[in-house]
Structure 1
Amino acid sequence: MNKLRFVDVCAGAGGLALGLEAAGFEPALLLDRKQVACETLRLNRPAWNVLETDLLDFDPTEHQHTYDVDLLSAGLPRVKSSATVARAETEEELRLLEAAVLLAPSIQPRALIIENVPGLVDSPKFEGVREFIRKELEHLDYRFRWFILNAADFGVPQDRKQGVLVALKKQYFDAFEPPVPTVAQHVTVGTVLGRSMAARGWPGADAWAAQAISVAPTLVGGSDNRGGADLGPTGSKKAWERMRVNGGALGDDVPGPGDPVSGLIKLTDAQTALLQSFPEDWQFAGKKTARYRQIGHASPPPVGTALGLAVAAALNS
């Protein structure tokens, strides 16, 4: 059986694409406007067709790789509704969301996956956006479902809720079922990071891992326009502190033999990639802050795999 082909826009560091690859999909084209994200994709998958361009400027008719694909996927920048967020930034994120949907008439995929914030699924603040999407998709003969997934239910050691839209051409839709959890028990931070904490001989590694018995709070990549690399807002930092982690900064390396066994420690960007369930050998281009932002903005690959398998089952039914 031939592999199903997909186009992935706003591909970032490749989390969603990696998940779809594991589900049996083959990328026809991956698009992102950030040079460092494209470098990451090419570094790890030299054979992938990666295009560095803004989604708002992308014309699929100029790229034959987009013809006759099975799936259009988009892990888009998170839309925000808070009054504290810069209006221009929020409007750009909404334009990207609309642009992803408006690719469907040109690409005509059999299925569409869009992943974003949970509020997009049911918040009254995004009712206008959902209505725009409904009209566009129904006009093109798609049927669709909105639902929320938590990455922790798919083996990711992180409480990360994601709003998902899956649309399929009408003849495939009745065969689609949203993914169901793949783990009966959530994976803890200590379980995932214990080995890396001990990698340099830190004597406190075992004790630290034994007390880090919950999933991580949601990793937040932050804005490119401000701030450095930290693990999220105040509530997240407090949750990290309860696991003896300094959520205000990232470390350059894991603790070593001379580091104290008590107090707070700093995670490395490589450890945050493990918390997003990236493969250990997946490399990220750029300096530390740029690497962490790619990681924090990514969709965890296991969620992409679950979505890919669900969509593939419908398309192959």
Structure 2
Amino acid sequence: MARTNELKYSSVEICAGAGGQAVGLHDAGFKHVALVEIDKDACATLEANVASHEEWNGCRVLREDLNDFDPASLGLRLNERVDLAHERDTLPERNEQAQAGLPRLDLLAGGVPCPPFSAAGKQLGEADERDLFPVMLSLVRSLDPRAVMIENVRGLMDPKFEDYRKRILSELEAMGYVKCLWEVLEAKDYGVPQLRPRSILVAMKSQYEPYFSFQAPEEPLLKTVGAVLHDSMKHRFDAVDDPRAEEAFKRWHEKAQTDVAPTLVGGSKKHGGADLGPTRAKKAWRDLGVCAMGVANEPEKMADPGRDLFADAGPKLTVKQAALIQGFPESWPIGGRKTAAYRQVGNAFPPPVAQAVGERIYQAFEDAAKAGVI
């Protein structure tokens, strides 16, 4: 995965986690003004990666509870809505900020918490205190970006949430936005070696909507677990002096090159250590030659090869390998202790999917500009 466009349009991301969506949008050509996240380990991951890369220069990592977050701290002005000039009288602060010459925001993105809409989270929807859609809509109102992108679990698209989705769209329409996309995208179609369906909402100011188009790949870019993890798994087996290593690697690879992985899950801090999912997922991992009963140590920290590499079901995955399964580049290390790092990875949005959607938003801005729409 590589950046496909000039870093040209500004973005702010909330609920940034370990940076999966941020990496994808960056590679699509969006220059982040800020990444907002509440988890300290995820913030440490973001800070370490942003600070070490000159292309992210100027991006701030803000550890904030969104329920208390003041968007004015971002120093962004409200955009003038060129198609709603009559609002200048009703929203004087819009003119004041515009006259101050503060920068404009092009994209507000975020993966608001999934548990309110996930079967594992009991699907309480707006009755769940973790539902941050109202906060996201409030930020849209305050920051007035040219486009909005929100990702969530597939469960949000269930019929029981139809009225809630309609209310979300109604609020966006009242602020001058038009829905461009609200579909379930499957990560495996974008080169991510994993079954990971995600609900993606894109809404743009009405003047940009005619320039947005999106179509799922006609020929999905399928990659197997074995193809993606071959080199890293070979390195792990080569790092141990054990006569079983060569045969165990071949046995794993024969199984792993047959399919993509089941959905990685990050789990909850309220529960025990990390593993790769519920019973059905564990069986799917076993079919791929992977032991899902825990997460392995990286080769340089491995104290028990029997646990990490030679379980009956096969080797366990390391955090770095789980990140590859999510579509993270190797150049984006995940910080924190093993369990905390794995949870960041398991809860992430695959960067290649974010990049694919981000590129279409970017292109809409480009085409609109060519047409004289500002």
Gaps of 5+ in 1: none
Which runs of structure 2 are paired with 1:20-31 in the superposition (5 Å)? Answer: 20-31=25-36
Partner of 2:371: none
Shift of 1:151: 0.7
Q: Is the 8 A contact 1:72 1:112 kept in 2?
A: yes
The one-letter amino acid of 1:52's match is R
The one-letter amino acid of 2:19's match is G
The one-letter amino acid of 2:129's match is E
What is the number of residues matched between the two proteins? Answer: 315
Alignment of 1:52 onto 2:102: no
- Higher RCO (Cα < 8 Å, 6 or more apart): 1
Q: Is the 8 A contact 1:80 1:90 kept in 2?
A: no
Q: Which residue of the other structure, out of 8, 15, 18, is the alignment partner of 2:13?
A: 8
Q: Is the 8 A contact 2:7 2:29 kept in 1?
A: no
Distance in 2 (CA, whole Å) between partners of 1:83 and 1:215 is: 22
Gaps of 5+ in 2: 1-5, 52-56, 78-102, 239-244, 368-374
Partner of 1:306: 356
Shift of 1:127: 2.0
Partner of 2:89: none
Distance in 2 (CA, whole Å) between partners of 1:185 and 1:2 is: 25
Q: Which residue of the other structure, out of 322, 330, 337, is the alignment partner of 1:272?
A: 322
Partner of 2:265: 220
Quote the sequence identity (%): 43
Shift of 1:231: 0.7
Structure 1 residues 170, 32: CA separation in 2 closer, same or farther (over 3 Å shift)?
Answer: same
The one-letter amino acid of 2:283's match is K
Q: Which residue of the other structure, out of 35, 54, 60, is the alignment partner of 2:40?
A: 35
Which runs of structure 2 are paired with 1:201-216 in the superposition (5 Å)? Answer: 201=238, 202-203=245-246, 204-212=248-256, 213-216=258-261
Q: Is the 8 A contact 2:187 2:196 kept in 1?
A: yes
Q: Which residue of the other structure, out of 283, 297, 301, is the alignment partner of 1:252?
A: 297
Shift of 1:159: 0.7
Distance in 1 (CA, whole Å) between partners of 2:325 and 2:118 is: 27
Q: Is the 8 A contact 1:9 1:30 kept in 2?
A: yes
Tell me how large the CA RMSD over aligned residues is.
2.4
Shift of 1:316: 1.5
Shift of 1:148: 1.0
Shift of 1:115: 0.3
Partner of 2:280: 235
Structure 1 residues 135, 210: CA separation in 2 closer, same or farther (over 3 Å shift)?
Answer: same
1:195-224 CA deviation, whole Å, 9 max, x = no partner? 111104131223311221100001000112
Partner of 2:192: 156
TM-score (norm 1): 0.92
Q: Is the 8 A contact 1:222 1:293 kept in 2?
A: yes
Shift of 1:176: 1.1
Shift of 1:11: 0.4
Q: Which residue of the other structure, out of 284, 290, 296, is the alignment partner of 2:334?
A: 284
Distance in 2 (CA, whole Å) between partners of 1:89 and 1:273 is: 31
Q: In structure 2, the residue corresponding to 1:93 is in which secondary structure?
A: coil
Which one has a bigger Cα radius of gyration? 2
Shift of 1:253: 3.6
Alignment of 1:73 onto 2:109: yes
Shift of 1:85: 3.4
Structure 1 residues 140, 242: CA separation in 2 closer, same or farther (over 3 Å shift)?
Answer: same
The one-letter amino acid of 2:188's match is A
Moved more, 206-215 or 5-14: 206-215
The one-letter amino acid of 2:104's match is D
Structure 1 residues 184, 117: CA separation in 2 closer, same or farther (over 3 Å shift)?
Answer: closer
Structure 1 residues 182, 15: CA separation in 2 closer, same or farther (over 3 Å shift)?
Answer: farther
Shift of 1:126: 1.3
Structure 1 residues 118, 199: CA separation in 2 closer, same or farther (over 3 Å shift)?
Answer: same
